[in-house]
A and B are shown apart, each in its own frame.
Chain A
């Protein structure tokens, strides 16, 4: 089972460049999330999508945009990358109800020079 798939796994950008991180899940989950992970700060929620067609801001949304393209896919876009956005980005998905468990992708390591 593929689970949650993120691309690319690694990316180096120059300040001001734009890029999109792609995420797809094959578990028919309603909710999808984008987190960033920085040393000593744990996981911080950037944006989430409770269901297809809806998106909401999380804790650190500035500098990012998202698109819930369909139930499977949730992309994260950096319009004008800044060094402060150097981080590891994780996409996750969750079914509604049950134990509320999040399923994570393997992460995308982004460096902005």
Chain B
């Protein structure tokens, strides 16, 4: 079973904000990530946050980390049709060579006009 949990689907209107939530179980995680997968493509890193941070902002993206509740969220401001994709939350315990990322099941985001 997965240690990282996400809701499977989110529908949002173009121009609104999207919020994708994730819970994780390894309190020792070093980095937490958001990956984006467009149809027929591999995953690409969207953003990441180091475990000693609470928030990270990068243009339209805001990542919030609540370590007490082991909760990670990704907010996309002014959502566009190009933001339609599957978004994966992931965590890693160590970035040493033997570290492995643990992924959630992915949230399908559909942006409607």
Contacts and interface: CB of A to CB of B under 8 A. Distances in A.
A100 B31 contact: yes
Nearest to B43: A104
B8 A40 contact: yes
Given A100-B30, A101-B45, A104-B44, A42 B105 contact: yes
Nearest to A104: B42
Max chain B CB contacts within 10 Å: which of A40, A96, A100, A107? Answer: A100
A33 B100 contact: yes
Max chain A CB contacts within 10 Å: which of B33, B100, B105, B106? Answer: B100
Interface in A27-49: 30-31, 33, 35, 40-43, 45, 48
B105 A97 contact: no
Contact of B100 (A30, A48, A96): A48
A62 interface: no
Nearest to A33: B100
Given A90-B43, A106-B41, A106-B42, A45 B100 contact: yes
Which 5 A-B pairs give the minimum distances between C-beta atoms? A104-B42, A100-B95, A42-B105, A50-B97, A43-B103
B48 A99 contact: yes
Interface residues of A, number: 29
A99 B95 contact: yes
A107 B100 contact: no
Nearest to B106: A42
Interface in A83-113: 90, 92, 94, 96-102, 104-107
A42 B101 contact: no
A107 B41 CA distance: 7
Nearest to A100: B95
A43 B88 contact: yes
Contacts of B44: 104
B105 A40 contact: yes
A96 B42 contact: no
Max chain A CB contacts within 10 Å: which of B31, B42, B48, B88? Answer: B42
